[in-house]
Amino acid sequence: MAIEIRDGVAVVDGVPRVLVTADYPYYRDDPAGWADRLRAVRDELGIEVITCYLPWRHHQPQAGTAPDFTGRSHPSRDVTGFLALCHELGLRVIAKPGPFIHAEVNYGGLPDWVCPDADPAFEPLLDARGEPARWADAAVPAGRPLPAPLGPAFLARAGEWLSAVGKEVLDGAPAVIALQIANEGVYTSGSLPLTAYDYSASGVAFYRDRLRAWYRTPAAYNESHGTAHAGWADLWPPTAADGPLARADWGRFHAEYLAEVYRVWTQAVGSGLPVLVNLNPPTVPELDDWLARVRPELWGEISYGFTNWMGVVSADRDAHARYVIAAKRAPGPNLEENWGFSELYDPAYIDGATSFHQSLLALAAGATGFNVYTGVATSGWTPELDAARSGPYPDCPPVDAGGAPTAKAPLVRALARFFAVHGAEFLECAPVRRDAFGLYLPYAGIAALSGQDEDAPGCGRPLRAFHERMRTRGLDYGIVDLESVTAQELAAYRTVTVPGGPFLHREVRDLLAAYAEAGGLVLVDGPVPELDERMRPCAPLTPSAPPPDMDEGLVVHGDADAFLRSHPTRDVHYLVVLVQAGNEGPITLRTPYGMVEVVAAQGGGGVLRLADGQVGDVVVRGLNTYLDCAVEAGVRLDGVRSGASGPGDLVRIDGRLV
């Protein structure tokens, strides 16, 4: 199996594929059970690609010893044997060596000996107050300081770890098809405020290096910012009291800082494998911070991916908005969807309907794959690895700790099978979207450092308002980065809504003016910019009048979200229906073939293939035991109904009921 990532899509042996994966934390299980659990993922879940972290602290617990990848010091460290077993069973692997992994592992998977408290040679990561950023867990509830990623000592030792993984684990391991670097930012920190890091000496040095690259001379910096600094050493990270350009610079620094950490860690592995990352979604208060930091356009060949740990989207509008924004920010797979944890997160996950709904929402919003995290319950790890739990981990996955399939397994298998059959065609179909939101990310940096100043320009508030307007109208939308989007990409939309503020890059202004001249509508949410990025007068945009609110959403009756994708050359469409937790009764939807009625469980949903005037293959969830909901899942078009014969799911694949 040869894999590459093209524009966020996994291309396997030359064929685009919805990347369906399941995580199995081998290091938490008895190696005697590895083969049985891997067979269960393959045969019971129908999944051929395994994801797994490689915990640094597990494989190299002592600073003075080489990493153990063969099990010489403990059988569960035999990751080379695990990968060989995957290959023998016909499974492929996305390896995730961190160096920080979270995964409910002590100190996030970092070895204790890189902690600045244990060895002062490791520079601590600092926040805006000069306090060390700490990682708290059951092993050390008060938290331990985290090492600065670009500090020389940690950079060297993390590089040695990653290089060892590349040479001793990945080279010569045919099962491994891709690599994931880091976890949800650097230290599960992708959604934290911009004031949370990095104010360490190495972080400030990188900030000044970036300023030098952007402005070339202190004089040019002073001219743009209205300051009088004698040299780069006089420049410190800005606060809310500094001017808007300085705050925008700090946001831009964060974006390039994340890109630099990803770059050096990827380079340290030294592998030619495709590389992905898994950003955690934004929080509501820190949406601007996340937008400023997460700029996939800067990552080169490193591909975007994201995770979901944010609540139940069928019942929580904030969680829904965060989830959709993460899925739309850039094309890429959902690399961790919670299918296994109920006790640790939310009791709604006890039923597969919750994870099914969210996996489909990600795909409908723009994701190119989904992950079952974790696919298998495990037991048997030591307190040095995880001091909080004794097992099983997790509590309600599709395969239990004994290797038996649970009630979630048939639903996972149906979804995996549907996209194995139709994934390439699903990706060929274009989402039906006429409107876009244009990110102008200097405003995100300004807002992130503006404190309670609601008059400061930003991206987060207008994007969230735009999302809610579109969702209320039942319309899908796109998100574009105005500093990198092409004129051709922008021309695909009828309207683009941009945040208002005092200034705008001249190139962005010219792009939007040309778009409007060609017939596109530019809607400005806030003041119309009159200055360029150097605060010089610039011809202002002429905002368009909003179009008449004539577009009709897909949902005619019922409380649900719906998304449509249509093939550019064939009469083929995919309809995703996502039922809200409080819905009662059938959902009626507009489709290219007229009205379609879908019956699904509360908090559930379905995916339908429509072709040649008929409803073809479908997967519709009819049960949600958490909400005590059981219906006969079904689909009706032109009076013809396909449905379950009793309370339960409707699964039809390759024209056959399953």
pLDDT tens, residue by residue, 324-368: 999 999 999 999 999 999 998 899 999 999 999 999 999 999 999
Domain that residue 166 falls in: 3-118+152-194+256-428
Say if residue 268 is in the same domain as residue 310: yes
Q: Output the pLDDT for position 310.
A: 79
Say if residue 398 is in the same domain as residue 453: no
Q: How many domains does the chain have?
A: 3
Say if residue 418 is in the same domain as residue 302: yes
pLDDT category at 101 given cuts 50, 70, 90 is: very high
pLDDT digits (tens, 9 = 90+) for 492-518: 999 999 999 999 999 999 999 999 999
Tokens of 107: 């100190």
pLDDT category at 551 given cuts 50, 70, 90 is: confident
**Is 479 inside any structural domain?**
yes
pLDDT category at 612 given cuts 50, 70, 90 is: very high
Q: Output the pLDDT for position 453.
A: 82
Helix, strand, coil percentages (3-state) for the chain, rounded to 5, are 30, 25, 45
Residue 522 confidence (pLDDT) above 90: yes
Distance CA 485, CA 126 (A): 34
Tell me 403's DSSP state: S
Q: What is the mean pLDDT of the chain?
A: 96
**Is 129 inside any structural domain?**
no
Report the CATH number at residue 350. 3.20.20.80
Which among 405, 428, 451 is the end of a domain?
428
Say if residue 513 is in the same domain as residue 613: no
pLDDT digits (tens, 9 = 90+) for 418-443: 999 999 999 999 999 999 999 999 99
Q: With pLDDT > 70 as the criterion, what percentage of the chain qualifies?
A: 100
Mean pLDDT value of segment 523-550: 89
Residue 465 confidence (pLDDT) above 90: yes
Q: With pLDDT > 90 as the criterion, what percentage of the chain qualifies?
A: 92
**Is 166 inside any structural domain?**
yes
Which among 428, 444, 463 is the end of a domain?
428
Of 255-264, 384-393, 617-626, where does mean pLDDT reach its minimum?
384-393
Mean pLDDT value of segment 569-583: 97
**Is 287 inside any structural domain?**
yes
Say how far residue 634 (Cα) sits from the centre of its chain: 31
Report the CATH number at residue 472. 3.40.50.880
Q: Output the pLDDT for position 625.
A: 97
Say if residue 423 is in the same domain as residue 454: no
**Is 137 inside any structural domain?**
no
Q: Output the pLDDT for position 78.
A: 98
- Sign, CA dihedral 45-607-430-465, equals negative
Distance CA 270, CA 163 (A): 7
**Is 207 inside any structural domain?**
no
Q: Output the pLDDT for position 512.
A: 97
pLDDT category at 378 given cuts 50, 70, 90 is: very high
Residue 566 confidence (pLDDT) above 90: yes
What lies within 8 Å, CB to CB, of 9 at 6+ separation is: 16, 17, 331, 368, 427
Q: Are 190 and 294 in contact (CB under 8 A)?
A: yes
Residue 195 confidence (pLDDT) above 80: yes
Residue 1 confidence (pLDDT) above 90: no
Q: Output the pLDDT for position 141.
A: 93
Mean pLDDT value of segment 77-105: 98
**Is 147 inside any structural domain?**
no
Say if residue 471 is in the same domain as residue 488: yes
Q: Output the pLDDT for position 390.
A: 82
Q: Output the pLDDT for position 424.
A: 97
Tell me 152's DSSP state: H
Phi, psi of 209 (to 5 degrees): -60, -40
Say if residue 335 is in the same domain as residue 351: yes
Mean pLDDT value of segment 252-268: 98
Mean pLDDT value of segment 624-635: 98
**Is 208 inside any structural domain?**
no
Say if residue 424 is in the same domain as residue 452: no
Say if residue 461 is in the same domain as residue 489: yes
Say if residue 356 is in the same domain as residue 443: no
Which among 428, 457, 477 is the end of a domain?
428
Say if residue 423 is in the same domain as residue 435: no
pLDDT category at 288 given cuts 50, 70, 90 is: very high
Say if residue 509 is in the same domain as residue 621: no
Q: Output the pLDDT for position 451.
A: 83
Mean pLDDT value of segment 543-555: 88
Q: Which of 131, 133, 262 is nearest to 186 (CA)?
A: 262
pLDDT category at 541 given cuts 50, 70, 90 is: confident
Q: Output the pLDDT for position 128.
A: 98
Distance CA 241, CA 432 (A): 44
Distance CA 28, CA 389 (A): 11
